Amino acid sequence: MTEPTHHQIANYLINYTLSELVKYVMEDTGCSIEEAMERVYNSPLMPAIQDEEGELYVQGPAYIYELMNNESN
């Protein structure tokens, strides 16, 4: 059995973070999954979340959600 690559780990964590962010938006706003996904994917933080070198994705989804909320205020 081989060890996962950095890219595989990053991809997993990014996808996990994005799914958690969508859940948080839905819970906080009561919007549909489509609306929540649009808010997350159109966030100015999206490029930073997806940047494997920047490693924002290693922070907890709750922390990143707070960043998202702070940038929209």
In a domain, 6, yes or no: no
Question: Is 1 a domain residue?
Answer: no
Q: How many whole angstroms separate alpha carbon 39 and alpha carbon 33?
A: 10
Nearest-5° Cα angle at 15, 44 to 55 = 60
Query: How many domains are contained in the chain?
Result: 1
pLDDT at 56 over 80: yes
With b for 16 or more beta-carbon neighbours within 10 A and e for fewer, the 10-47 pattern comes to beebbeebbebbbebbbeeeeeeeeebbebbeebebee
Contacts of 46 (CB under 8 A, 6+ apart): 40
**Amino acid, single-letter form, for residue 34:** E
67 within some domain: yes
Residue 71 has pLDDT above 90, yes or no: no
72: pLDDT strictly greater than 90: no
* Residue 73's pLDDT band (cuts 50, 70, 90): low
Q: Is residue 51 part of a domain?
A: yes
Structural domain of 52: 18-72
Task: For 5-55, write each residue's pLDDT tens digit.
Answer: 999 999 999 999 999 999 999 999 999 999 999 999 999 999 999 999 998
